[in-house]
Amino acid sequence: MNNSISKLTFVVFASITILASCTNRRNAVYFNNIQNTEFLNDDQRIEPLIQRNDLLSITVSSLNPEATEIFNVLNVNTTRGSNATSTISQAVGYLVDQDGNIQIPFLGNVTAAGLTKMELRDELRAQFTYRKLLMDPIIDIRYLNYKVSVLGEVQRPSVLTIPNEKITLLEALGLAGDLTIYANRDNVLLIREEQGKKKLIRIDLTNENLFTSPYYYLKSGDIVYVEPNKTKIQSAGSAKQWLPVIFSGISVLVISIDRLTR
């Protein structure tokens, strides 16, 4: 009889454990039932528009290094001490002000917000040439604050600095350690600010339409939030509270049956 009770106890505990951890496979994988296929990559929509509060590195070079030196002063990082054991590196560059302008020596206010880096580069080159400040200048523009944030049900929630200024949603999730098993893969939230407005976009990672979505490539300042699935919410709620009670009740029942059979 004792042997039967032990087997019954094992079966009950195993069943509860399996039910508590059971997860639908469809909700745990990316791109369900996707077949071999190809998607056209539209590189034009990857190039973001410059926005207010963007910090830009603008490097100017020409056949006259002395003439270009004044335009490159703001591209040098400054380092200041904070205490005896550490230092803080402060990035400097051309800040896009609230009017959408940057201040360029000898050019004054130059409109940057709403332009791509290529368009701003062409505008600066034209002004340098028109005002005869530089001959055939070469201009390189980069973002100094290109960052995206990944929060929620990922292994390492973090703010990611993107040096090459190009990252996909999947790459960002990978850099954050990938989704946990408790992540809701069909309802990921993307928060994006454009032209002074915040957009909230829901993205389904289990659908192949992600590859043709305008939100497949992230932009600077994007926030990706991965919600917990129902299993995680329930485990943190009433189910988690009741499991100790259930286990205690089973223990009392097993002990009672054992004593009655002696």
The pLDDT score that the predictor gives to residue 108 is 92
Pairing of strands 78-81, 87-90: antiparallel
- Residue-number span of the structural domain to which 17 is assigned: 2-23+233-260
pLDDT in tens, the chain (262 residues): 555 555 555 555 555 555 444 445 455 566 666 666 665 665 555 678 898 989 999 999 998 888 888 888 766 554 444 343 333 445 578 999 999 999 999 999 999 999 999 999 999 999 999 999 998 999 999 999 899 999 999 999 999 999 888 999 999 999 999 999 999 999 999 999 877 789 999 999 998 889 889 899 999 999 999 999 887 666 665 555 565 666 666 665 556 565 656 6
The pLDDT score that the predictor gives to residue 84 is 38
31 and 154 part of one domain:
yes
Residue 1 CB-density burial (10 A; 0-12 exposed, 13-18 middle, 19+ buried): exposed
Q: Which of 78, 109, 143 is the last residue of a domain?
A: 143
What are the angstrom distances between the C-alpha of 209 and each of 174, 216, 226, 244? Answer: 19, 9, 18, 43
Q: Which of 110, 143, 176 is the last residue of a domain?
A: 143
176 and 253 part of one domain:
no
Contact partners, residue 217, CB within 8 Å, separation at least 6: 45, 46, 166, 167, 168, 169
The pLDDT score that the predictor gives to residue 16 is 52
176 and 115 part of one domain:
no
The pLDDT score that the predictor gives to residue 40 is 63
179 and 64 part of one domain:
no
Q: Which of 143, 175, 210 is the last residue of a domain?
A: 143
Residue 48 in any domain: the answer is no
> For residues 60 and 221, what is the distance between their CA atoms, to the nearest angstrom?
26
Residue 135 in any domain: the answer is yes
Residue 47 in any domain: the answer is no
The pLDDT score that the predictor gives to residue 45 is 56
pTM reported for the whole predicted model: 0.66
> For residues 206 and 250, what is the distance between their CA atoms, to the nearest angstrom?
40
Q: What is the 3-state secondary structure (H, E, C) of 159-227?
A: EEECCCCCCEHHHHHHHCCCECCCECCCCEEEEEEECCEEEEEEECCCCHHHHHCCCCECCCCCEEEEC
The pLDDT score that the predictor gives to residue 149 is 96
Residue 194 in any domain: the answer is yes
165 and 103 part of one domain:
no
The pLDDT score that the predictor gives to residue 83 is 41
155 and 118 part of one domain:
no
The pLDDT score that the predictor gives to residue 147 is 93
> For residues 8 and 58, what is the distance between their CA atoms, to the nearest angstrom?
73
12 and 74 part of one domain:
no
- Per the structure, the count of domains in the chain is 3
> For residues 69 and 13, what is the distance between their CA atoms, to the nearest angstrom?
74
Residue 193 in any domain: the answer is yes
The pLDDT score that the predictor gives to residue 118 is 94
Pairing of strands 138-143, 223-226: unpaired
